[in-house]
Structure 1
Amino acid sequence: MGIFDIKKYLRSPNKGRGKCRKCSKSCQWSKERVQMHIRNCEKSSDDEKLMFPTKLQTTLKTNSSIENPQHLTPELPSCSTNTLKEAIANFIFKSGVSFRVVELDCFKEMFFVLNPALVEAIPSRKELSTDLLDAEYDKVQRKIHNVLTNSTNLTLISDGWTNVTGDHIVNFCIKAPGMSTLFYKSIDTSGTGQTGEEVATQISNVIEELGPENFVSVVTDNASNMRAAWNLIEFNYPHIACNGCSAHVVNLLISDILRLETFANTTKDAQKVIKFVRNHAFVKAKYEEIRKELNVSKKLSMPVPTRWYSHYTSIKNLIDSKYVLMKLVDMHKYQLKEVMPKEASKEVIKLIERNSFWDKLCKLATILEYPSNIIGKLEKDNTSLNAVYDYFGKLYTHFEQDKTIQRLVKYRWDYILTESMGAAYMLTPKFSVDGVYVDHDKIDIVGHIKKIVAVVDPIKASDVDGEFAMYVNMISNLPADKQQMIYQMDAKPYWKVFGKNEFPALYICANRVFDMVASSAASERVWSAFGFIHSNSRNRLITTRVEKLTSIYVNNAILKQLDAINSLFSDEFLYENDFE
């Protein structure tokens, strides 16, 4: 072919890139990338494209000369080319891989091996990012809209995030009763100040899209601007309750504990030991040898910034490695002392040999264990609001012997507690009589229940006091076996089966609060999907395209499961599978 002249195809080289002389698109200043661009450039002639054939095209040409190549007979399957393109597009969208994978020779060769005719059905990168993506996104959005418009007692969950290109994005997820949380939409708020008024407007716009009457609650994080937005939302929509993320507040409680002088130094010392092992190749290698020899499964890990509950895992893993570290010091003490900086190394060695260090670690791990385990439970989609009050009540009694930590628990409890949380707790049969109530909470909660009912049905609000007295009396005087049965029931089924007819005024409140969500963890999980799709290697994706890909990626499994349930209970299925 002769010498390849890049300048013949690209102009204006700058920092390793140039612009195509035909379409003016940017391209990397390398032979392989330029040839790939020419093959895919819309303005390149057929002759120019043939000048640089792919390995696959070369293979096709070679195979075409074989006499009677029966195994390479190019016959399309029975489905249409459009169907094949949609199937390939769905694989790309739902696996999170880059669009440019369809341009790779190895990708095309894979289809060629299956059937040479399938190569023609591979969509271009442009088709993937435009028509096919739009079509799949529209299909997902129609399904989501159909599900949500036919549901009531919806909870709107929202959270903010800064993406890889520095744009501030806000997502909106919606939880319908009995379903996993759906990712509804996201908006770019980079040019907008996130004041309480602006946040309230953003949330209100979503509420209006699906109908205010279909919502019962909004959940966000606990920032001051969010709390200001709550006041505006509850003023404009009195029937909608706003709650903060309870898992986040427990996380903040752990940070409060770790900042206490008693534990702050212990935490710092623990991290010194962990860093000493992880940051020095010789120490790490010897540590790993001894860890495997002693059959210790857990490795040392540093806590994640702002994820304060990860301190428990970090400290627990350090405690599990105690004898590994002690043996490491016994066997290699001289070499360890020579690790630079020497003063820091000697300090770490002394910590490992000091029994008081390990005693403090064990004490701290014991304190952090319970609140750290609570966070995982509160982050589940199906965790009811009654769990928030219950867990904080248990935390309060758990630290009864440590008044300093108990005061921190009370402070965070007061910070997160809302009327709907208290109502959910008291309307749970097992907590109505035997629950943990602090100060005048019990009296206040009855007033909150009355207030919630009054918003929905003012006439029945007057019946709340009488029904509540009967409700508590009934639970208190049940025979032991029946009381045990009701205590074991979740609160929502109890009110659907028993309470609805016996206490209709209380049921109005119960029907709402038990469909509310305890945390905004679902929105944070969406950011994980955003980060997976809009990664450093795909930072040129525009935000609208990222939103569409994320919607398909996050919602696909949920909607597929819903389709399976709908199909199971469809008339056709029941008819075809009827018993003879």
Structure 2
Amino acid sequence: MCDSWTSVRNEGIINFIVTVPRPICWSSIATGAESHTGQYIANLLKKVVEDIGPLKVLGACTDNASNMKKAWELLQLEYPHIKSYSCIAHTLQLIFTDLIKIKSAENIQSDCIKLCKTVKQSQKLTALLNQHQHQSPQGQQHTLKLPVKTRWRSITQCLKSVCINKHALQALGINYDAKPSLDLSIRKLLLSEVFWDRTEGSLKLLKPVTDAITAIEGENKNLSLVMKMFSDLKLSFEENLSSSQILKSEEDAFKKIIRERKKFLVDAMQVIYEIAAQLPNIDEIQVIAELADYRSRLKKNSKPFVSSAVDKTSASSWWNRICCSSQLSRVASNILRLPPSSASVERSFSRHALVHSARRNRLTTDRAAK
């Protein structure tokens, strides 16, 4: 997997991570004056593949940028067995960004930010809110959180902080001492049940997306999680849309976002077939037949103790030890080595920034990478 960023010295850097399946930082390339074109990135990817060994590389995970997609095409021409695919976490982030741009969600977000700013910028209101928090049913202090542009998840945290403090904020809205510092429009907002219904409804729609991103960004996750995760997201949307208090005219827009962004995902059956076709001593048609047989037997003969065992067994252990007698198991073992996201690259940027900080800006990029 790979991705690019800019260092503290405003230098372009591309990091490469190899999963075995544990992620390992392979190399950090300072690109200098080179433009990050598809051809340039493809050449860097080819060098990494050759250094590792072409037969040891099964897939390449990047974001959905156009230059990365061009690099996929060029890499595929030279190494047909390597499957390039988009970062699932990035796809989910695009879904989240699309959702919060819908008018009703944007209005709720704007109201919550205005409310949080009003309270946080006043010492008196903050002190009064703290008093009401201790008197609320929760009986403890939860700070109001403002979203940060570079932290997309902070929008959900902002909505959640407002909902958690509902009783304390409503009490603040009718507090006589708060009136001089509290704008009339904010007081009306706090006492409006429509505002609270819409805020809670929006949180129910957005939180499953942020939870899915958090789950998929772990270092020990694999591609087998993706289809179930999207299926769960779709069910969550269908359950929460009716109670979310968004405009009926916007319900179709919400559903369309999931359909459109899902196109970024690779087709699971197609990936299984293509990988099987490239592996030695594997009949790809036989693999698809075994997959169909496995699915039908699993549905027909599933026992409670089997489902309990699945929950306590890793996917790799299942296919390598329990279901290891078929060609399908060999293909499954290879697919399970592929990461669902390029989050490990982002983490490498964070580690790099801790070393190559503003206080150590005289470090060269090559030196910092070591």
TM over 0.5: yes
Aligned partners of 2:124 and 2:178 also within 8 Å: no
Q: Alignment partner for residue 26 of structure 2, among 173, 177, 184?
A: 184
Instruction: Say whether residues 1:495 and 2:319 are aligned partners.
Output: yes
Spell out structure 1 runs of 4+ moving beyond 4 A: none
Alpha-carbon RMSD across the aligned residues, in angstroms, is: 2.2
Q: 1:473 deviation in Å? A: 3.9
Q: Alignment partner for residue 455 of structure 1, among 272, 278, 295?
A: 278
Which residue number corresponds to residue 209 of structure 2? 371
- CA distance in 2 between counterparts of 1:263 and 1:466 reads 45
- Cα 1:459–1:273, aligned 2, differ >3 Å: closer, same or farther? closer
SS at match of 2:148: coil
SS at match of 1:399: helix
- CA distance in 1 between counterparts of 2:198 and 2:65 reads 33
Aligned partners of 1:239 and 1:455 also within 8 Å: yes
Aligned residue type for 1:454: A
Aligned residue type for 2:20: A
Number of equivalenced pairs: 355
- Cα 1:238–1:351, aligned 2, differ >3 Å: closer, same or farther? same
Aligned partners of 1:486 and 1:494 also within 8 Å: no
- Cα 1:388–1:350, aligned 2, differ >3 Å: closer, same or farther? same
Q: 1:481 deviation in Å? A: 4.4
Aligned residue type for 2:49: I
Which residue number corresponds to residue 144 of structure 2? 300
- CA distance in 1 between counterparts of 2:193 and 2:205 reads 19
Q: 1:266 deviation in Å? A: 0.7
Aligned residue type for 1:418: V
Aligned partners of 2:18 and 2:25 also within 8 Å: yes
- Cα 1:534–1:477, aligned 2, differ >3 Å: closer, same or farther? same
Superposition pairs for residues 507-518 of structure 1, below 5 Å?
507-518=329-340
Aligned partners of 1:384 and 1:517 also within 8 Å: yes
Q: 1:256 deviation in Å? A: 1.2
- Cα 1:333–1:472, aligned 2, differ >3 Å: closer, same or farther? closer
SS at match of 2:146: coil
Q: 1:544 deviation in Å? A: 1.8
Unaligned runs of 5+ in 1: 1-156, 338-344, 423-444, 549-580
- CA distance in 2 between counterparts of 1:391 and 1:474 reads 23
- CA distance in 1 between counterparts of 2:320 and 2:72 reads 29
Aligned residue type for 2:323: G
Q: Alignment partner for residue 418 of structure 1, among 260, 266, 269?
A: 266
Q: 1:541 deviation in Å? A: 2.1
Q: 1:406 deviation in Å? A: 2.4
Q: Alignment partner for residue 312 of structure 1, among 150, 156, 166?
A: 156
- CA distance in 1 between counterparts of 2:302 and 2:159 reads 47
Which residue number corresponds to residue 335 of structure 1? 180
Aligned partners of 2:119 and 2:125 also within 8 Å: yes
- CA distance in 2 between counterparts of 1:547 and 1:540 reads 13
Which residue number corresponds to residue 395 of structure 1? 233
Aligned partners of 2:62 and 2:68 also within 8 Å: yes
SS at match of 1:187: strand
- Cα 1:169–1:276, aligned 2, differ >3 Å: closer, same or farther? same
- CA distance in 1 between counterparts of 2:16 and 2:50 reads 13
Superposition pairs for residues 279-298 of structure 1, below 5 Å?
279-291=121-133, 294=136, 295-298=139-142
SS at match of 1:515: coil
SS at match of 2:283: helix
- Cα 1:331–1:538, aligned 2, differ >3 Å: closer, same or farther? farther
Q: Alignment partner for residue 274 of structure 1, among 112, 116, 121?
A: 116
**Structure 1 residues 269-313: Cα deviation after superposition (integer angstroms, max 9, x where no partner):** 110011112233443344345445654332111122143332111
**Structure 1 residues 191-246: Cα deviation after superposition (integer angstroms, max 9, x where no partner):** 11111111111122122112122111211122111111112222221221112221
Which residue number corresponds to residue 249 of structure 2? none
Which TM-score applies when normalising by structure 1?
A: 0.58
Q: 1:448 deviation in Å? A: 4.2
Unaligned runs of 5+ in 2: 242-251
Aligned residue type for 1:229: A
Q: 1:517 deviation in Å? A: 0.2
SS at match of 1:531: helix
- Cα 1:537–1:448, aligned 2, differ >3 Å: closer, same or farther? closer
- CA distance in 2 between counterparts of 1:325 and 1:303 reads 19
SS at match of 2:58: strand
Aligned partners of 1:378 and 1:519 also within 8 Å: yes
Instruction: Say whether residues 1:528 and 2:370 are aligned partners.
Output: no
Aligned partners of 1:252 and 1:308 also within 8 Å: no
Which residue number corresponds to residue 107 of structure 2? 265
Q: Alignment partner for residue 407 of structure 1, among 231, 234, 256?
A: 256
- CA distance in 1 between counterparts of 2:288 and 2:11 reads 51
**Structure 1 residues 49-94: Cα deviation after superposition (integer angstroms, max 9, x where no partner):** xxxxxxxxxxxxxxxxxxxxxxxxxxxxxxxxxxxxxxxxxxxxxx
Aligned partners of 1:174 and 1:184 also within 8 Å: yes
- CA distance in 1 between counterparts of 2:77 and 2:291 reads 27
- CA distance in 1 between counterparts of 2:104 and 2:185 reads 19
Q: 1:404 deviation in Å? A: 3.4
Aligned residue type for 2:169: L
- CA distance in 2 between counterparts of 1:481 and 1:328 reads 52
Which TM-score applies when normalising by structure 2?
A: 0.88
